[in-house]
């Protein structure tokens, strides 16, 4: 009986002595097995099925990209080529811009692309009417800046030709965007002698930044712009590339709000 107990204790001691080595060997074997499996995975052949799967994935990504681009240029952005000099120095002839037909409102200072297919003026009571012209030489797409919106009072004082003043709601406005030295003259247009007047709701008074070389709301060939005549709002000049800039931050404010 004592001999059996001694043998059992001896076996337990032998197992305890051998166990750590066996654990190391087992761990090493598992590591080798894992590496072999990884190597086997890497050596899997590039099958026709794998190739087709990759091609389909690339095609799907390409189609989605094309679809998004088409949506953007169909509903959001439209390229426009600038012709003429009426918006200098903000925009020059042959510049290319993006306009958007999706916008929430139109504010003073916004640059609009306009379909000048009709001319709207105001009568002696301030009511709008469509002028009947037998031939309008500016029956085309034009681009101008909003100076006053419907419900706002517009006044142009050119009594001193060298110091012309543009006022909205009785306040002289600050216009850093107009061409240096350009004067805002009323001339003999349809609004001569009618300033100040309130722009009717749904209409806009617009002018070019190059005031002495712009046919705009001061002209009997343009007049007020009706909301339905607006193609879209200019948002960015993208050509020339070196002169890329956004246009939707163009603005004006009264001179008494100007920061010194």
Do residues 22 and 111 both lie within one domain?
no
Do residues 43 and 113 both lie within one domain?
no
In sequence order, the 6+-apart residues with CB closer than 8 A to the CB of 184 are 156, 158, 164, 165, 166, 178, 207, 211
Contact 204, 50 (CB under 8 A): no
The tokens for 114 are: 């306009």
Q: Rounded to whole angstroms, how far apart are CA atoms 229 and 63? A: 35
207: buried, middle or exposed (CB in 10 Å: 19+, 13-18, 0-12)?
buried
Question: How many CB atoms within 10 Å of residue 225?
Answer: 27
In sequence order, the 6+-apart residues with CB closer than 8 A to the CB of 178 are 184, 209, 210, 211
Do residues 69 and 106 both lie within one domain?
no
Confidence (pLDDT) at 103: 82
Confidence (pLDDT) at 251: 52
**One digit per residue, pLDDT tens: the chain, 260 residues?**
444 444 444 444 444 444 555 555 554 455 445 555 554 555 556 677 777 777 788 887 888 887 676 666 666 789 999 999 999 999 999 999 999 988 878 999 999 999 999 999 999 899 999 999 888 999 999 999 999 999 999 999 999 999 999 999 999 998 999 998 899 999 888 999 899 999 999 999 999 999 999 999 999 999 999 999 999 999 999 999 999 999 975 554 544 443 43
Of the candidates 197, 81, 183, 199, the one whose C-alpha atom is nearest the C-alpha of residue 142 is: 81
Q: Rounded to whole angstroms, how far apart are CA atoms 96 and 81? A: 5
Task: Among 47, 74, 101, give the residue marking a domain's end.
Answer: 74
Task: Among 57, 74, 91, give the residue marking a domain's end.
Answer: 74
Q: Which residues are paired to 205 by β-bridges? A: 148
Judge whether 6 lies within some domain: yes
DSSP secondary structure, 196-208, as one string: SEEPPTTEEEEE-
Judge whether 260 lies within some domain: no
Do residues 191 and 228 both lie within one domain?
yes
Do residues 33 and 157 both lie within one domain?
no
Do residues 69 and 97 both lie within one domain?
no
Domain of residue 141 covers 82-255
Task: Provide the domain count of the chain.
Answer: 2
Judge whether 159 lies within some domain: yes
């Amino acid at each position: 009986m004592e001999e059996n107990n001694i043998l059992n204790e001896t076996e337990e001691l032998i197992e305890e002595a051998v166990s750590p080595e066996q654990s190391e060997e087992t761990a090493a074997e598992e590591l080798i097995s894992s590496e072999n499996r990884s190597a086997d995975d890497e050596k899997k052949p590039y099958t026709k099925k794998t190739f087709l799967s990759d091609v389909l994935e690339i095609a799907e990504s390409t189609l989605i990209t094309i679809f998004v681009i088409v949506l953007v240029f169909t509903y959001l952005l439209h390229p426009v080529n600038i012709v003429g000099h009426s918006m200098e120095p903000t925009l020059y002839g042959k510049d290319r811009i993006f306009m958007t037909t999706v916008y929430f409102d139109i504010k003073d200072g916004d640059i609009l692309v306009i379909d000048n297919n009709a001319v709207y003026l105001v009568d002696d009571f301030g009511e709008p009417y469509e002028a009947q012209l037998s031939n309008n030489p500016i029956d085309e797409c034009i681009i101008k800046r909003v100076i006053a919106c419907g419900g706002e009072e517009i006044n142009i004082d050119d009594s001193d030709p060298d110091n012309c003043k543009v006022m909205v709601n009785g306040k002289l406005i600050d216009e850093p965007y107009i061409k240096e030295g350009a004067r805002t003259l009323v001339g003999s247009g349809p609004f001569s002698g009618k300033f100040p007047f309130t722009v009717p709701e749904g209409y806009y008074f617009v002018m070019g930044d190059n005031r002495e070389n712009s046919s705009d709301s001061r002209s009997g060939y343009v007049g007020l712009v009706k909301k339905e005549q607006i193609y879209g709002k200019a948002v960015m000049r993208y050509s020339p590339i070196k002169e890329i800039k956004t246009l939707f931050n163009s603005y004006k404010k009264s001179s008494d709000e100007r920061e010194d």
